[in-house]
Amino acid sequence: MLTDVLGLVNLFRGEIQRRRKSSALPGHVQAYGQVPLIVHHVFPAGINSNRFISPHNKLARWFRALESAGHFDQSAKDPNHPHYRIVKELRPKDDVWGSEDEIIIPKLSAGCFSSSELLGYFRARGIKHVVLCGLTTAGAVLGGARLGADLDFHIMIPREGILGDDKETNDFLLDKVLPRFVDVVSASDVRSLLK
């Protein structure tokens, strides 16, 4: 999964560079027009002792189990430098964050549109098409896809870009549930859209 996601991220990074160069030509509007935005949407794990998750939320148990298993780097606690929550391979070159085209947004619930300012970024840039990758199929991916569809975004989910912790549930969601609301595609389908 990581190799496929990295391939897609690098594809979009290349497309951003290409479009930024062409928009610098005379007669083109600079700003954001038609330039992709890469969003790393992450839980601020370890910050404030994870008190942002209600003890009544079943997600709290799952999150604490991941944390206990060592899936989060507990050595870094600085909320001003959240990149430590991003897998090293997916970080931008030289760990430079905060460009206008690749950002980090912390979230406080599984659904990407319900607990952060992501929607504001999309509206500011006029984004209507979203390629959604992430963990897990039954959590963040399903939550983000459903609400994104309700908000009239065109959502594409590359099969290779998500990971579920239960294969049977993952396959059921990808084959039976999600296609009712979004386009479940292959990573090669996404690549072909940019050619």
Q: pLDDT digit string (tens) for 103-138?
A: 888 877 777 888 778 999 999 899 999 999 988 888
pLDDT, one tens digit per residue, over 133-159 is: 988 888 889 999 999 999 999 999 999
Question: CA neighbours within 13 Å on the CB side: how many for 18?
Answer: 10
- Structural domains in the chain (count): 1
Domain boundaries, position 126: 2-193
Range with lowest mean pLDDT among 21-25, 37-41, 76-80, 160-164:
76-80
pLDDT greater than 70 at residue 13? yes
Neighbours of 52 (CB within 10 A): 18
Helices in the chain by DSSP H: which ranges?
2-23, 58-68, 118-125, 142-150, 167-172, 187-193
Say which DSSP state 133 is in.
-
In angstroms, the CA 171 to CA 141 distance is: 13
* pTM assigned to the model: 0.83
Neighbours of 87 (CB within 10 A): 10
What CATH number is given to the structural domain containing 143? 3.40.50.850
In angstroms, the CA 151 to CA 156 distance is: 14
Which range of 20-24, 26-30, 96-100, 150-154 scores highest in mean pLDDT? It is: 150-154
**Coil, strand or helix at 127:** coil
In angstroms, the CA 166 to CA 137 distance is: 9
Look up residue 83 and give its two tokens. 């990149």
Cis peptide before 137 (omega within 30 of 0): no
